[in-house]
Structure 1
Amino acid sequence: MSKRISRHQILLCPGPVNVTPAVRRAVAGPDLCHREPEFSALLTGTRRKLLAAFGVAKTHTVAIVSGSGTAALETAVLASVGPGRTLLVVDNGVYGDRMIRIAAIAKIPVARFASPLLAPVALDRLERAIRRDARIETVAVVHHETSTGILNPVAAIARMARRHGKQVLVDAISSIGAEPVPLAAIDLCVGSAGKCLHGYPGLSFVLVAKRCAPRLAGRPARSFYLDLRTLLDSQEGGAPPFTPAVPLIQAFDAALDELRREGLPTRIRRYRARAALLRRGFDRLGLEPLAPRALQGHTLTALMLPPGVRYEALHDAMKRAGYVIYAGQSRFHGTMFRIAHLGALTTSDLTGVLRALARSLPRGRR
């Protein structure tokens, strides 16, 4: 028999996140058939709330995807370019590389713009790369690179791309709801219910600028399930093309109600305050950030493991105290760890993180 989780844990991973009691109640709401008017009203309302939350109801539409953020990302990548055109991807981490891998599997031509992992994107060099290849139709970039905690200059990149007549695709999975996202300049913006919007994992979305409609209509379907045009056409009519994750949509609807009551600017300020509180504490504990502070976002902090501290031992000590931290990825595996500050966390939760770290770091050396 599997071991049951018998006590509340504070999740410091970049999704899933802790949710409020109201969102938890909503996921256990009434059973709904997705072909009945009750669900159609729910889906239509959730889509409207999502567009309203970001002030884009007049300029954008949205496709809700039953799947993790990667499912919505794949949906957007597959719709990003027409036949014979190229997708340029800014690659400075695990999630930039993920877009390249998605495109490669779909046999979409990709121009990889390699950028150092822990340095600013060289905008002048990127502009030269965009100008050099007339086949480039869309420029793609990760907003918050979760593998390092770097926040890429999406606004500047989007302005540059549009100046050269390119579409813009942004992976905002771990930033939307916590960082300002320049949606007016973005054609395809990917997000997740289960990160900074405080819903559950397994539900994601693509915000689509209405100006994209003519281009999308001329692009081939590259997937049966993850076809953006199919999702948009059906959802705009109030019906999903396939059986969706009904309970997750119920929970997301409740989470969007909470965001509306709080207000997006207040939510963004709350994330900045969280990051500042935790980072002051990390400094007091002598923990070194992986990335320069000026490049960091406000949803996650990547920290170097102190000499002699093993990640597994630190993780286990923190988990015994009720806090779940996250390992480093790729080349940073075993040398750093990550603490995400997403979801329904209180100031008491955050100060508890710092107390638990102070106790757990010495145990990580054993």
Structure 2
Amino acid sequence: MEHTDGILRMTPGPTTVPERVRERMAEPAWNPDVESEFVDFYAALTAKLEPVYGDGDIAILGGEGILGLEAAIASLVEPGTEVLCIANGLYGEGFADFVEMYGGEATVCGGNWREPIDLASVERELEIGAYDVATMVHCETPTGTLNDLEPVLEALAAYDVISVVDAVSSLGGTPVPTEMIDVVLGASQKCFSAPPGLTVCAISDRAWERIERVETRSFYASLEPWRTVIEDGWFPYTHLSSNLLALDEATDLLLEEGLEDVYERHDRVAKHCRQRADSMGLQVYPSSESLASPTVTALAVDGQATALQRRLRDEHDIVVATGLGDRSDDILRIGHMGYNARLEWVDRTMDALEDVL
């Protein structure tokens, strides 16, 4: 019923959008620039997101999740700012590009792509450096790795370093230690299973203090105007009201199921997916299954990913993802996040994978 074109899309985002969310998005939209009702709706939506994002001020920006990563750096970094980019994957390393783009000095540390974050290397850098900001990724989607953030966040707090966490592929699918993070970054199209197009940020008072001191060189990617949008009734640009309606409905679905039940469903489906993979002789890409994310399974298929992806689409009408960067043909990724975290859809995918293998 959900796949009206007959194609099952088991990618690590964008995920399948439930019918209720699609119907809500089709409702008549406000003109957010002139109708005061929109401000009330936006305020209610940000409050509704707090159980997932924590109690920091929540801002919803019009733009895909990468906007949040850039906006955090644009708002916290100025020329000469020392930033520690804690990375064991593509997106963690990519934060350094944004830092340099806005004139900051990036130091990358943390480990290789198949291993957990190297806490010892982070602590060494904190001892010898003078960092104001640190960035990291909770779920490294390209490798299917879920990082244990709490020890790293504790180390950053000890040195009074502002923390920025890309939790785009984990929020709403697995617990995130939001109470320990200064800037939490998420998006609409992953575990929330709303259409792509919105970035959601939760921002601590400590982060706001720095944001207000930094002279950002961007307008669209600046977080500063979003602190007072509700009380001012003014938004930096015409907001994506239809996308916000969809996110509101998707959040309702999440809260109706209950967060603990949602997290348990993701864990159960992920374990089932990996058990099916193991029965075919396939291994997860991270060095240990304990590192594997409950929202995406990355399988090591040296040199076969592109061919397997093509055959799954051509022969079984199933879309999965390959790896990214120089590992694009070595990793096959199956997304089971949000609405896609369903046993029957994972079984259909793994049955097809077994056939093409």
TM-score category (smaller protein): over 0.9
Which of 261, 266, 272 is 2:261 aligned to?
Answer: 266
Q: CA RMSD in A?
A: 1.8
**Normalized against structure 1, the TM-score is what?**
0.91
User: Residue by residue, what CA displacement relative to the aligned partner does 1:247-291 show, whole Å, maximum 9, x if unpaired?
Assistant: 111100000111111121211111101101111111111112211
Q: CA deviation at 1:72?
A: 0.9
The answer on 1:319 being equivalent to 2:316 is: no
Match of 1:10 in 2: 8
Equivalent-residue separation in structure 2 for 1:138 and 1:79 (angstroms): 11
Equivalent-residue separation in structure 2 for 1:274 and 1:6 (angstroms): 23
Q: CA deviation at 1:235?
A: 4.3
Match of 2:25 in 1: 27
Helix, strand or coil at the partner of 2:127? helix
Q: Please, which runs of 5 or more residues in structure 2 have no aligned partner?
A: none
**Change in 2 beyond 3 A, CA 1:317/1:128:** same
Equivalent-residue separation in structure 2 for 1:240 and 1:338 (angstroms): 38
Q: CA deviation at 1:177?
A: 1.1
Match of 1:40 in 2: 39
Which of 114, 117, 126 is 1:118 aligned to?
Answer: 114
User: Residue by residue, what CA displacement relative to the aligned partner does 1:101-160 show, whole Å, maximum 9, x if unpaired?
Assistant: 1111111221221521111222122111012112x1011111111111111221111111
Q: CA deviation at 1:52?
A: 3.6
Map 1:188-207 → 2, pairs under 5 A: 188-207=183-202
Match of 1:364 in 2: none
Match of 1:305 in 2: 301
User: Residue by residue, what CA displacement relative to the aligned partner does 1:214-265 show, whole Å, maximum 9, x if unpaired?
Assistant: 2222111221111101122224534321012111111000001111111212
Equivalent-residue separation in structure 2 for 1:127 and 1:178 (angstroms): 29
Match of 1:78 in 2: 74
Match of 1:132 in 2: 128
The answer on 1:341 being equivalent to 2:336 is: yes
Which of 242, 256, 277 is 1:282 aligned to?
Answer: 277
Helix, strand or coil at the partner of 1:119? coil
Map 1:92-241 → 2, pairs under 5 A: 92-134=88-130, 136-241=131-236
Q: CA deviation at 1:312?
A: 3.5
Equivalent-residue separation in structure 2 for 1:195 and 1:238 (angstroms): 29
Report the AA paired with residue 205 of structure 1.
Answer: V
Equivalent-residue separation in structure 1 for 2:7 and 2:36 (angstroms): 37
User: Residue by residue, what CA displacement relative to the aligned partner does 1:294-339 show, whole Å, maximum 9, x if unpaired?
Assistant: 2111111111226xx7433322321242211101112212122111
Equivalent-residue separation in structure 1 for 2:165 and 2:110 (angstroms): 16
| Identity over aligned pairs, percent | 28
Report the AA paired with residue 9 of structure 1.
Answer: I
**Change in 2 beyond 3 A, CA 1:85/1:106:** closer
Residues 86-95 or 213-222, more deviating: 213-222
Equivalent-residue separation in structure 1 for 2:306 and 2:80 (angstroms): 47
Q: Please, which runs of 5 or more residues in structure 1 have no aligned partner?
A: 362-366
Equivalent-residue separation in structure 1 for 2:12 and 2:345 (angstroms): 16
Equivalent-residue separation in structure 2 for 1:52 and 1:354 (angstroms): 33
Report the AA paired with residue 247 of structure 2.
Answer: F
Check whether the contact 1:115–1:121 (CA below 8 A) recurs between aligned residues: yes
Equivalent-residue separation in structure 2 for 1:257 and 1:228 (angstroms): 26
Equivalent-residue separation in structure 2 for 1:6 and 1:196 (angstroms): 21
Q: CA deviation at 1:172?
A: 0.5
Equivalent-residue separation in structure 1 for 2:295 and 2:190 (angstroms): 9
Match of 2:83 in 1: 87
**Change in 2 beyond 3 A, CA 1:351/1:104:** same
Report the AA paired with residue 262 of structure 1.
Answer: E
**Change in 2 beyond 3 A, CA 1:53/1:189:** closer
Q: CA deviation at 1:39?
A: 1.8
Helix, strand or coil at the partner of 1:344? helix
